[in-house]
Structure 1
Amino acid sequence: MDGILPVYKPSGMTSADVVSKLRYLLQMRRIGHSGTLDPSVDGVLPIALGSATKAVTALMTLGKTYTGSITLGFATETEDLDGAEVARTRLEAPVADAAIDAAMAGLTGDIVQIPPMYSAVKVNGRRLYDYARHGEQVERPRRAAHIYAFTRTGAPVFHAAAGTVTFTFTATVSKGTYIRTLAVDTGKALGLPAVMSQLTRTQSGGFALADTLDLRELTRETAPAAALAHLRPIEIAYPQVPRHALTDSEWADVQNGKALALPETAPQLALMQGTTLKAVYRRAGSVYRPDVMFLANVWNGDTTNGSL
């Protein structure tokens, strides 16, 4: 079974839990996911099966869209509701819509983020969350991100008893963006502590929630058929890469890892044997050379289900 499987990850499960459950349900070892979702976050989690695990890097570069809520008035050590409170400013009145919108607009485009201490980013070979759990301080790396859109989707709600304001949002972002940090930085722009209070990933890797397979009701007997019904071909991870149909002689060269002299000029080419992706080649001077090989890929699905 080679391809991309869009899965719904419920809150309470880790991304590794999803992979582990799929390995049990499908009796496969070669399975990987394309971007971790925190345990408290639900939503779209593209899973690579078989040969598609080689396409995870490409899949992760595709944009992601989230919906969620931000609460102003307090902050936590994890930047979401899972961590201990570290700051609070009691609000005595609502925050103006225009002020919130201006703060969010200031965080669109190219930005730089400092990842949360409770994150999987490595510093000196250790995860940041490991430093945090041991109470150790370490300088966190600055990371570039691109925010394609970050907008408020509902009227802010003032909670007088708690002294907080909560509003909903949608965000479309690049690989590596921390939505928790985006929430905290929104609060900073307003001069207030803030926390991400809810998050759902609604799109990832070209998949929407409606495309996903929910594993919670599946058994060893029903899972294979359900997975095949939702499986998409590997080339969906390369939506902008032009296709090239291999001739018999070119296919023989590809199997031996040889460069190809082709008339195309695109930076990359997806080399197809019939309807099956066999390799992605990158232009190097006057020829194309191997970039990612999928020689073992066998696609037996319906090519209308996502094959571009």
Structure 2
Amino acid sequence: MKSVGGVVPLWKPRGMTSFDAVKRVRHIYKTKRAGHTGTLDPDVEGVLPICLERATKLVEYLTADQKVYEGEVTIGFSTETEDAGGEVVERTPVNSTITEEEADSVLADLQGELEQTPPMYSAVKVKGKKLYEYAREGLDVARPVRTITIYSLERKSALIHEDGKVIFSFRAVCSKGTYIRTLAVQIGEKLGYAAHMSDLIRTASGNFEKKDCITLEELEKMNDPQKAVISVENAVKHLPGVIIDEELEKKVLQGGLLPLPKAAEAFTEPYFSLYNRNQELLALYKKDVKRDGMMKPEKMIRTIDL
């Protein structure tokens, strides 16, 4: 079978947009089909998986996983962008000592389901327009409140008290859609002060971790950048899967509505992978809720002509 692309586990540098990172990778691999699995702000470095060719069909399934961040919060003033790059909008000098116990208690309180309002300087769309576009025009629009999950939130440094500010680093494991900038603001609110996120690194996105990543400079120096590509099979190894026989493989490659393999009957996940006997990923399928004992295509990776 022909190659269907794969995933480049990129380590995005600071000072670059996610769009420009994808553009660079697209140029390296000489392809028009490339897309990332979750935006990183320009001032943030970290894990940015980039899907190539038909692996772009998997983007939504790779973004469904949790992400891990190492951040820093500065308590004492807030900014319009909720990070260190924005103009100061409120100052609340910390004139009394915040103890480590108080900080840890706040972090514990913020674990679990949490409501967040996306910052105005974000890529969330309202009425077909990105929020940061409204913000640059000086417009403030109603923003949708979203429910996210903080699986783990722990302090990773001592508290530094200086010049009316308190600074400490933290590690957050969270669901997709979480704004760490907003989380930093929420930490400050619970302590009774204005705050902002002063530093951030994404150390994991789904199954992709810092140790798996490669930089743009390393990619550009490689004689064969294909060696840095993770196969679609490895990219979806977190999903349950079934190896099917040659007869069923032909029907799957045509995207057919098919009897559910016995091995998939116990799956509780919304979709699962189908592999041929060479353990090549053919498609993602799901149970047909309207037809008992049947399955239907969720996303075709290979087809009869590939």
Question: Displacement of 1:36 after TM fit?
Answer: 0.2
2:296 to 281, 289, 292: 289
Measure how far apart 1:278 and its partner are.
0.9
The structure 1 residue matched to 2:112, chosen from 99, 109, 124, is 109
Three-state SS of the structure 2 residue aligned to 1:55 is: helix
Structure 1's unaligned 5+ residue stretches are 300-308
Structure 2 CA distance for aligned equivalents of residues 5 and 224 of structure 1 = 16
Give the whole-Å Cα distance in 1 for the aligned partners of 2:212 and 2:305: 22
Question: Alignment partner of 2:230: what SS?
Answer: coil
For these two proteins, the number of residue pairs brought into alignment is 294
Give the counterpart letter for 1:103 in structure 2: V
The 2-side partners of 1:180 and 1:104 are apart by 14
The offset of 1:230, in angstroms, is: 2.5
Aligned residue number for residue 272 of structure 2? 269
**Pairing 1:186–2:187 present:** yes
* TM-aligned CA deviation for residue 237 of structure 1: 4.0
Greater alpha carbon shift after TM alignment, 179-188 vs 23-32: 23-32
Q: 1:297 to 1:33 in 2, by over 3 A?
A: farther
- Residue 128 of structure 1 aligns with an amino acid whose one-letter code is L
Distance (whole Å) between structure 1 residues aligned to residue 185 and residue 115 of structure 2: 13
What is the CA–CA distance in structure 2 between the aligned matches of 1:269 and 1:202, rounded to whole Å? Answer: 27
Matched-pair contact (CA < 8 Å) for 2:94–2:193: no
Deviation at 1:25, TM superposition (A): 1.3
Aligned partners of 1:218 and 1:283: how far apart in 2? 40
Contact 1:44 1:201 in 2 (8 A): yes
Q: TM-score, normalised by structure 2?
A: 0.92
Q: Which one of 121, 124, 129 corresponds to residue 121 of structure 1?
A: 124
- Take 1:57 and 1:218, find their aligned partners in 2: how far apart are those partners? 25
| Separation of aligned partners in 1, 2:150 and 2:186 | 13
Q: Distance in 1 between matches of 2:174 and 2:80?
A: 23
Shift of 1:217: 4.3
- Flag the 1:107–1:69 CA change in 2: closer, same or farther, 3 A: same
Q: For 1:144 and 1:57, locate their aligned partners in 2 and report how far apart those are by CA, in whole Å.
A: 18
Q: Which residue of 1 aligns with 2:170?
A: 169
Change (3 A) 1:298 1:30: farther
Match in the other structure for 2:56: 53
TM-score, structure 1 normalization:
0.91
Q: Distance in 2 between matches of 1:272 and 1:216?
A: 34
Secondary structure at the counterpart of residue 258 of structure 2: coil
Q: Can you give the 5+ residue segments of structure 2 that lack an aligned partner in the other structure?
A: none
